[in-house]
Amino acid sequence: MAIITKITTQQKNQDRYNIFMDYGKGEEFAFSVDENVLIKHQLKKGLELDEFSLMEIHYHDDIQKAYNSAISYLARRIRSEKEIKDYLLKKEMEEPVIQEVIHKLIEQKYIDDREYAFAYVRTQINTTDKGPGLIGIELKERGIDQKYIEHALEQYTFELQVEKTTILSEKFFQKYSKDSKRVLKQKLENLLVRKGYSFEVINMAQSTIDMDKQANNELEAIKYQGNKAHRKFSHYTGFEYEQKMKQFLFRKGFSIEGIERYLLELKELD
């Protein structure tokens, strides 16, 4: 048996206490504990502790340290259960200790994966241009149950998705107006799919875009690409020049009709 000989408050952390004990060879520092553990085990000068009691004290102190770390981590923003577990594992906390902390945090409503899913979806809708598919993947990576994900994504209505993709599409067409409509459409679809939107939403958004404006953009694009091709192939003449121009513009995604019209206009300018 060992006897507690002295208890002092740590200078750098007023919530922790240094425990000094006599194991039969005089007083020496034994361990430190959190204030909650000190109170729970009623540690005081003169108290005798056996090996089992010491193990229990250390176990509860590990739980308290892990709990304090988790609370500090949660103070920055809401976290999922998996995020808390991963965080404590990185701090080399033992699995039984982590499970005790998770149980306590759930009881105290500090962890609620259902509420986390709802809050995460709301934040992504308000601050990003991600679609529901991508948001769902991110929630799954954070350990959220599929039923919570599906329920939370109900906030992301079809109408709101169309509105978002329409805005994204218009910005995209403005930024890449030098490409053909076909190339732009394919690039845009790939972008929106990566962002997590369905083809149904993408098609609906594209159908709402001003077609007259897109026709003008197509005309400007073929002129831009055609002028580049003309500079590249200006040393060719006749049939060979025309074929080089057609091949170049066709690979850029322009229609045969559009190419023929552009080349005709080009001839008229000569």
Q: Are residues 30 and 119 in the same domain?
A: no
Number of domains in the chain: 3
Q: Does residue 99 share a domain with residue 16?
A: yes
What confidence tens digit (pLDDT) does each residue in 232-266 have? Answer: 888 888 888 888 888 888 887 777 777 777 787 77
Last residue of a domain, one of 107, 122, 139: 107
Quickly tell me which residue has 């991110």 as its tokens: 138
My answer on whether 93 and 131 are in the same domain is: no
What CATH number should be reported for the domain holding residue 90? 1.10.10.10
* pLDDT tens digits, one per residue of 154-192: 999 999 999 999 989 888 877 776 666 777 788 889 999
Same-domain check for residues 70 and 119: no
Contact predicate 232/248, CB 8 Å: yes
Cα–Cα distance, 95 to 246 (Å, whole number): 67
On whether both 148 and 131 belong to a single domain, the answer is yes
Which region among 65-74, 98-107, 237-246 has the lowest average model confidence (pLDDT)? Answer: 237-246
Rounded distance between C-alpha atoms, residue 44 and residue 50, angstroms: 14
131 & 77 share domain: no
Q: How far is CA 255 from the centre of its chain?
A: 40
In this structure, the answer to whether residues 116 and 83 fall within a common structural domain is: no
Q: What string of DSSP letters covers 34-94?
A: EHHHHHHTT--TT-EE-HHHHHHHHHHHHHHHHHHHHHHHHTTS---HHHHHHHHHHTT--
Domain boundary among 107, 122, 148: 107
Tell me the pLDDT band of 37, cut-offs 50, 70 and 90. very high
Query: Which range of residues forms the domain containing residue 126?
Result: 112-156
Structure tokens at 104: 């306590």
pTM of the model: 0.71
Which stretch of 74-88, 107-121, 144-158, 195-209 has the lowest confidence by average pLDDT? 195-209
